[in-house]
Amino acid sequence: MGKEGLPDDYIGREQAYIKHKILESYLKRLFMIVGRSKADVINFVDCFAGPWQEGDKFLADTSIGIALKQMESCKKQLDATFGRNVKFRALFIEKEEKPYTRLKTFLSENHYPTIVAECIHGEYAKSSEEIVNWCKEGFTFFFVDPKGWLNVSDLRPFLAIRNSEFLVNLMYDFINRFVTQFDQKDRMSDIFGETPDFLQDALPEERQSKLLTLFRKNLNKTYDGRSAFVRIEKPGHNRILYYLVW
């Protein structure tokens, strides 16, 4: 363990540690609730899988390792406690060559034999038909964690899937730099459902609140459900890095 109880693999990545702890706890609750009540098949889809800065050979400090570990644990608990033989499946999408090679190698090592795990090399938006078909059976949870830009139009085919939930990272600190730039109007309209020109002179708190509201409304134009969020700040600063919206 490093400073203030932070695992060594997360030193310098404090915000990633918070994000991964949220993902871990949410998946555990969600998988148990869904597995107990209605789903014989539970799917996990990671649209920007990586791995990127992993420090553990089992990828315990990545969304890949976290998801697979929780799926395996919940599968065992559902069987032992409720007599539910739920099939768990994971699909990881990664477009960059080096991380994809690492991902494919890791999955081939079969550290989680009770989980059906697959990967796709490419951009998730260009594989939307394949992914939607893969999700036809059971309940699907989508983890959408881009490095920067996020096109909501690319998410529409997945948001329309009825039996699904999402955890989406809105990279606020990155996107906020471009909100009022003229050459980014089309991109802003895609993310927020409209061009937020009215925020040109808005105070930071007002801008944060209104952009987050617009983003959630834009998702709900396709997704038939409710949304909530948590803010992740830069360590030691009163500055929002990103919002996790689910």
- Per-residue burial over 195-225, b = 16 or more CB atoms within 10 Å of its CB, e = otherwise: bbeebeebeeeebbeebbebbbebbeeebee
CATH architecture of 1-145: 3-Layer(aba) Sandwich (3.40)
Tell me if residue 67 falls in helix, strand or coil: helix
Q: Judging by beta carbons within 10 Å of its beta carbon (0-12, 13-18, 19+), is residue 22 exposed, middle or buried?
A: middle
Segment 181-236, tens digit of pLDDT: 878 889 999 999 988 777 777 788 888 999 999 999 999 999 988 999 999 887 76
Name the nearest CA neighbour of 178 among 169, 187, 170.
187
Q: Where are the domains of the chain?
A: 1-145, 170-246
Q: What is the pLDDT of residue 72?
A: 97
On whether the CB atoms of residues 110 and 12 are closer than 8 A, the answer is no
pLDDT bin (cut points 50, 70, 90) of residue 1 is: very low
pLDDT bin (cut points 50, 70, 90) of residue 10 is: low
On whether the CB atoms of residues 107 and 86 are closer than 8 A, the answer is no
pLDDT for 52 beyond 50 = yes
